[in-house]
Amino acid sequence: MPDVSDFILKLQRRRIEGSHATARQTAELLRSVISQTRMPYTNQAAALLDAVRAVGEQLIAANPVELAVGNIVRRVLHIIREEDLSSSAVSFEGLMISEKSDDEDDADHKGGPVLSAAAVAAAARSTLRPRSLQTLLEDGPLPAAPSKSSSAGDSEGKSKSDKSAVGKRLKHSVIEAINLLIEEIDDCYEDISEQAVEHIHQNEVILTLGRSKTVKEFLYAAKQKNRSFRVFVAEGAPRYQGHVLAKELIQKGLETTVITDSAIFAMISRVNMVIVGAHAIMANGGVIAPVGMNMLALAAQRHAVPFVVVAGSHKLCPLYPHNPEVLLNELKSPSDLIDFGEFSDCMDFGAHGGAPLMHVVNPTFDYVPPNLVSLFITDTGGHNAAHMYKLIADYYSADDLVIKRKSTSSN
Amino acid sequence: MDLRRPNRPVIGPKVRQVGFVTPDSAAATSSSSIPAVSAAAAASAGSPPSSLSPVMIPPPRHPSTEMSNPHFHPVGSYNPSEQILGSPPALSPSRSSRFDADGSDFGGDDDESVALSGVGGGMTPKSSLLMCQPVTKTAPLVSETRKRDSNASKGKGEGPSAAPKEKLTKAERRATQEAQRAAKAAAKEAAAAGGAPSVSKQPKPATKPATQQKKDIPSGSGPLQPLAPSGSIEKKQGKKEVAAPHPRMQFDDMTKVGKLKKRAVVNQSEARNRVELFRHLPQYEHGTQLPDLESKFFQLDLIHPSVYQVGLQFLSDKISGGNARCIAMLLAFKEVIQDYTTPPEKTLTRDLGAKVGSCVSFLIECRPLSVSMGNAIRFLKNRISSLPHNLSDKEAKSRLQSDIDRFINEKIIIASKAIVEHGVSKIRDGDVLLTYGSPSVVESIFAYAHGIKKNFRVVVVDSRPKHEGQGLLRRLVERGIHCTYTHLNAVSYVMHEVTRVFLGASSVLSNGTVYSRVGTACVAMVAHAFRVPVLVCCEAYKFHERVQLDSICSNELGDPDAISKVSGRKDLNYLDGWAQNENIQLLNLKYDATPSDYVSVLVTEQGMLPPTSVPVIIREYGIERLWT
């Protein structure tokens, strides 16, 4: 598939910036992968899962640090599982209805009131998804929606064992769910920024580091609600994206002060709230964020300033980090930090027995441990760091956490 | 007085001419000026003696004392004679020159107009005598006539003396400052000694352009003399507190800033879009003052060239770092002392103190003093004022010079050697040492440790906008030390491997707070979070009994443009053209305060101590023992 190799190349060359763009493009790619997948007559869901897994594995390998790719692949796998379950429930009901006429005595073994397809779907869903307060509450109203589809399925199920129709329906519903996912990724800014007024009060002083589109939209939204507040922007060396953010904020008429990263500690004592974006949120509530964030979080903790992370749900990663500062990091070119021309003599590899005396370290990301984060604001609302694993469990199925091993075992 | 009176009309104009052109001819007048000044000083001693420490300038007077000034007639009555001498107490005429320079201010300032009206009423007869120009007796017109006078006399041309008016007034302002300082020092002396112990110095020949002379010349300039009668001294008294910018002056006090501006040598223009939280700190547009100051070089003859040079180097950031700045300043002062000759009928202790004071205020205008410099100045002034009076000029000068040398040697050079020895004892083989910026002491610790074949690696953390770490990196690599270079944001990435953090300090305050290059606090905080010991290396002469909790109340602001432009990264120009937008403010802090709990140990020449022991060091090894 040319699309896939193109996208892999882009990921490898780091042509795609930001987890939002990556997530969106990954979802689009997987959608086209699914639509191009030939559906076998049996075990269609497994076929789709395998296809997505095969592509997903390559994508993740292309840029293991861009966790959004893995997140989206897992989300799509989860969607396939969910859709498969609900459609199998439908077909199961269809079968049941057809079988009902054949042997009536089977009914008692199914339980008194005949299990509706919806109930089966809900049960399947709850096996797929660990129990949580949300799903408990959903259990009531949930059957209503599938029952409609099942009634639609009824009529189709009546036409009995039209396997290809079921297969098409699975594919179709998966693609539709992925469309919803893409929509969700696009809408996450609005969903998050809707909550801005709940968190920003009049005359607040907000500090942020680097540039995050989510933070920008969040601040815009508060500004639109006529909250007047002041923003300190730490420039975020070595990319200096803070300058871009500052420019965007002053265009909207926000009072903005640009500070150097080194002045963070000096200024944090006069700040009411730190609002930052993230690269990824790990299952333990830790945050992978642009470099410098750990320093900022420590300073915020020192002065008891709330440290708020705003991130769309596509940044929720179901993995638990191990040594993330090193393993989930990326070292960039030293040219951001020093002038090669100026230091060419110091960087001479031949001069000192092969090993240079000078190393330049230019990491991209920082890991902020969960205890430093006061609040996560995602498109589903505000969450505590300790609650992130639950939230994450809503989006991913446990079987997909490790994509690689699964795919090798299934292959 | 009567004897001298006849001289007056002759000398008056002459003096003026001389003031701006040929110093030699001024020599004659200079001698006469001295008694006047000392007398004025003695008189001023009558007013509540202000305890003038060189670094701390007395707090502003209460209005009540200012109110009392107009009734200070003994002084006033004394003054006219000085004017008659034609070499007025350096103070008064120049004060009036200020008035005509800033004629517009005149009406607005109540105190001054009151004083003037007194002047106009009381003194006009004499002034008219002096000037041979009719001076109206009504107060409001005084300033007008004064202007006319000055213009007229300039117009008359006295040849080369007709300097452009602006320059003239600036020079005169300078003179005012000088004179006020002299008077102040004298007052202090008088208050302390209870009488002016006059050691008669043999009048110096005019070959050397004695600074005092120069001071007097512009002030003696004709047109202004008559108008600076008793009132001028009163004003001087009132204005004392702004003679030099207070090291911790609050720049949000508009009246004070205004006053300061008028007398500033360095023409600093205020930066736009200042950060609200830092209104109390001076922030200037950078790059504008240098050419201006250069063009003024020949008028600022009160400033010794070496001080001038050091000032320019401070201004352009050619010299930075606490020790380097302090040594540069002290060496400049040494040259000042070398070239100093006590003006006739003055005492070295008083006059030199004032002289140094004027140099210091020039340096402050170039860049706020660091604590270390403040302490060094305190030391020097102490030495000057404690000189025995019976010393000859030569002895006194050589003694002061050796004092300065001793200070540089003991407090800075030997102290840092002691620190190096202490610091090296904390480096083990296999250590990874982190440092931030380019602290000179830490650099020598690394160099020494490398010299004694310790096996270690250095992580140099650097930050915008000055990138001082690159210089350190280069020097360390050239010595053959393994280095890792990174920027401040990545400090938590590298902190895992680090075993010791060595930091420098601009000063250590009494509550253990380490006041240092901005970003130091971040490094110390991250090290603290990673349980890595933080060693702050600091000479004891940088200790100060002040306390500070945050980095905002007292700090220094750098050039805001350095923020919007990323040096060496031409691709980053996001803020081009936006820096002047009213909504954006660029903050370039220079220092920050590291809380004492992030500091594991302070390495000083007195040994290694916890930050809680700073007050003990300050008390036990006290200021007196440290500075004398």
ipTM (interface pTM): 0.84
Residue of A nearest to B457 (CA): A357
- Which residues of chain A neighbour B526 with C-beta distances below 8 Å? 294-295, 298
Peptide bond into B49 cis (omega under 30): no
Q: Which residue of B has its CA nearest to A295?
A: B526
Q: How far is A303 from chain B (nearest CA, A)?
A: 11
- The CA distance from A326 to A245, in Å, is 28
Looking at residue A335, what is its pLDDT?
86
**Per-residue pLDDT averaged across B591-607, rounded?**
93
Confidence of residue B19 (pLDDT cuts 50, 70, 90): very low
Query: Measured between CB atoms, does A203 come within 8 Å of chain B?
Result: no
User: What's the rounded Cα separation, in Å, for the pair B531 and B533?
Assistant: 6
CB A125 within 8 A of CB A85: yes
Q: What is the pLDDT of residue A86?
A: 85
| Closest by Cα among A174, A85, A169, A80 to A121 | A85
Alpha-carbon gap: A179 to the closest alpha carbon of chain B (Å): 35
Is A256 close to B585, i.e. CB distance below 8 A? yes
Q: Do B592 and A265 touch (CB under 8 A)?
A: yes
CB spacing of B522 vs A329 below 8 angstroms: no
Residue A97 burial (CB count, 10 A): 16
Q: For chain A, give the percent of residues with pLDDT over 90.
A: 48
Lowest-pLDDT range of A93-102, A343-352, B234-243, B404-413: B234-243
Per residue in A366-410, pLDDT tens? 999 999 999 999 999 999 999 998 888 889 988 888 876 444 444
Residue B161 vs residue B282, higher pLDDT: B282
pLDDT at A364 over 60: yes
pLDDT at B272: 63
Across the interface, whether the CB atoms of B572 and A270 are under 8 A apart is answered: no
The closest CB to that of B552, out of A237, A266, A299, belongs to A266
B627 pLDDT higher than 60: no
At B44, give phi and psi (nearest 5°): -65, -25
Q: Is A244 on the interface with B (CB under 8 A)?
A: yes
Comparing CB atoms, the residue among B488, B519, B529 nearest residue A298 is: B529
The shortest C-alpha distance from B573 to chain A (Å) reads 9
Helix runs in B50-90, H state only: 63-68, 73-85
CA diameter of chain B: 86
Q: Which residues contact B254 (CB under 8 A, 6 or more apart)?
A: none
A406 touches B at CB < 8 Å: no
Distance, in Å, from the CA atom of A114 to the CA atom of A343, rounded to the nearest integer, reads 79
Q: What's the rounded mean pLDDT across residues B110-132?
A: 41
- pLDDT band at B577; cut points 50, 70, 90: confident
Q: Which helix (H) or strand (E) holds B25?
A: helix B23-46
User: Which residues are B482's β-sheet partners?
Assistant: B457
How far from chain centre, in Å, is Cα A31? 17
DSSP for B486-538 reads EEGGGHHHHGGG-SEEEEE-SEEETTSPEEEETTHHHHHHHHHHTT--EEEE-
Residues of B in contact with A295 (CB under 8 A): 488-489, 491-492, 522, 525-526
Tell whether B483 is within 8 A of chain A (Cβ): yes
Q: What pLDDT, on a 0 to 100 scale, did the predictor assign at position B139?
A: 43
Comparison of pLDDT for A366 and A151, the residue scoring more: A366
Q: For residue B95, name the pLDDT band (cuts at 50, 70, 90).
A: very low
* Average per-residue pLDDT for chain B: 69
Residue B481's pLDDT is: 92
Q: What is the pLDDT of residue B305?
A: 84
All residues at 6 or more sequence positions from A108 whose CB lies less than 8 Å from its CB, including other chains: none
The pLDDT-based confidence of B389 (bands split at 50, 70, 90) is: confident
Per-residue pLDDT, averaged over A280-303, amounts to 94
DSSP B225: G
Check: CB of residue A289 under 8 Å from CB of residue A317.
Answer: no
- Alpha-helix residue ranges (DSSP H) falling in B132-251: 139-156, 165-193, 211-220, 230-239
Nearest residue in A to B515, CA atom: A266
Burial environment of residue B582 by CB neighbours within 10 A (0 to 12, 13 to 18, 19 or more): exposed
Q: Which pLDDT score is estimated for B572?
A: 74
Chain A interface test: which of B273, B489, B514, B578 (most A C-beta within 10 Å): B489
Cβ separation A246–B592 shorter than 8 A: no
Residue B38, pLDDT above cutoff 50: no
Mean pLDDT of the residues in chain A: 82
Contact at 8 Å (CB) between B283 and B274? yes
Q: What angle do CA A141, A145, A149 make, to 5 degrees?
A: 155
pLDDT value for B288: 61
Chain B partners of A326 at a C-beta cutoff of 8 Å?
Answer: 496
Where b means 16+ CB within 10 Å and e means fewer, B8-30 reads: bbebbbbbbbbbbbebeebbebb
The pLDDT value given to residue A31: 92
- The pLDDT of residue B253 is 73
Judging contacts by C-beta atoms under 8 Å, the chain A residues touching residue B491 are 295
On whether the CB atoms of residues B502 and B423 are closer than 8 A, the answer is: yes
Percent of chain B, pLDDT > 90?
A: 26
Average pLDDT over residues B280-305: 68
How far B471 CA sits from the closest chain A CA (Å)? 10
A64-111 confidence digits (pLDDT tens): 889 999 999 999 999 999 888 887 776 666 555 555 544 444 444 444
Cα B611 from chain centre: 29
Q: Closest Cα to residue A265, out of B583, B281, B528?
A: B528
**Model confidence at B12: pLDDT above 60:** no
CB burial string B355-393: b at 16+ within 10 A, e below = bbbbbbbbbbbbbbbbbbbbbbbbbbbbbbbebeeebeb
Q: Please identify among residues 265-324 of chain A the ones whose CB lies closer than 8 Å to any CB of chain B.
A: 265-267, 269-270, 291-292, 294-295, 298-299, 302
Q: Do B473 and A358 touch (CB under 8 A)?
A: yes
Query: Among A372-376, B548-552, B575-579, which is the least confidently predicted range?
Result: B575-579
Interface test with B, best of A211, A260, A267, A347 (most B CBs within 10 A): A260
**N- to C-terminal Cα separation, chain B:** 43
Q: How much is the pLDDT for A398?
A: 86
Interface of B with A in 88-147 (CB under 8 A): none
Identify the pLDDT of residue B388: 85
pTM of the model: 0.71
Say yes or no for a CB contact (<8 Å) between B489 and A267.
no
Q: Residue B302: which of B409, B381, B219 has the closest Cα?
A: B219
Residue among A255, A294, A346 minimizing CB distance to B477: A346
| Structure confidence at residue B457 (pLDDT) | 94
> Quick check: B462 contacting A, CB < 8 Å?
yes
Report d(CA B33, CA B348) in Å as an integer. Answer: 16
Minimal Cα distance from B528: which residue of A?
A298
Q: Which of B485, B525, B575 minimises the CB distance to A360? A: B485
Higher pLDDT, B287 or A237: A237
